[in-house]
Amino acid sequence: MGRIEELADRYEQHIATAWQRTIAGAQRVVMVVYDKELERTLRYRKDLFRIATEKTGHQWVEADVTDAFARWLGEDEYRDSFFEFPDDLQIKLENEFPQYVAGRVRRVLDDSGEDSVVGVFGVGSLYGFTSVSRVASLVEANIRGRLVIFYPGQYEQNKYRLLDSTTGWNYLAVPITLHSTWGPA
């Protein structure tokens, strides 16, 4: 069995457990953590997670943020000036870009129900622009079912590190990895 298939099996075991309905939004987040080298394989095999979700009686919906930066910048009226003065982009990145990405995910969450799983793909493309933790915290209040973030990186000692960066962050999400166990949420 391949690594993505094993992750999908672990995910299915978790998503099949009875869902507590009274937990906070942050506790409704599941992080499927995998080696960054597996990104293309995971994208190719992502239907394994949809099938596992539907097999457990839940609905599957996807949100993809891969192109979020390009779309956000392309929609900005001052986009051309940022190429001349890239430092001017930093303020907008810090203040507006996380809200933009959260808005994209929020729209999918708002269209899903209490028995839905929203799978978020493409978070590696946020690296250097905003953090996954910031986006996750901005959408927590909108999670009615479960939010599954497919996270290319590492989970060690209760810290997530996107694309194996040197900095990490703690989060209440349930980690699903090839190297750890989890408890039902």
Predicted local distance difference test score (pLDDT) of residue 183: 46
Predicted local distance difference test score (pLDDT) of residue 157: 78
Residues of the chain with pLDDT under 50: 182-185
Predicted local distance difference test score (pLDDT) of residue 163: 86
Predicted local distance difference test score (pLDDT) of residue 8: 96
Backbone angles phi, psi at 91, to 5 degrees: -65, -45
User: Which two three-digit tokens encode residue 33?
Assistant: 């953590």
Predicted local distance difference test score (pLDDT) of residue 110: 96
45 DSSP assignment: T
Residue whose tokens read 């190429």:
83
Q: Which CATH number fits domain 3-17+27-176: 3.30.450, 3.40.50, 3.30.70, 3.10.450?
A: 3.40.50
Predicted local distance difference test score (pLDDT) of residue 166: 66
Cβ–Cβ < 8 Å for 149, 30: yes
Predicted local distance difference test score (pLDDT) of residue 156: 83
Predicted local distance difference test score (pLDDT) of residue 31: 94
User: Which two three-digit tokens encode residue 175?
Assistant: 């980690």
Predicted local distance difference test score (pLDDT) of residue 165: 76
Could you tell me the maximum CA-CA distance found in the chain, to the nearest angstrom? 54
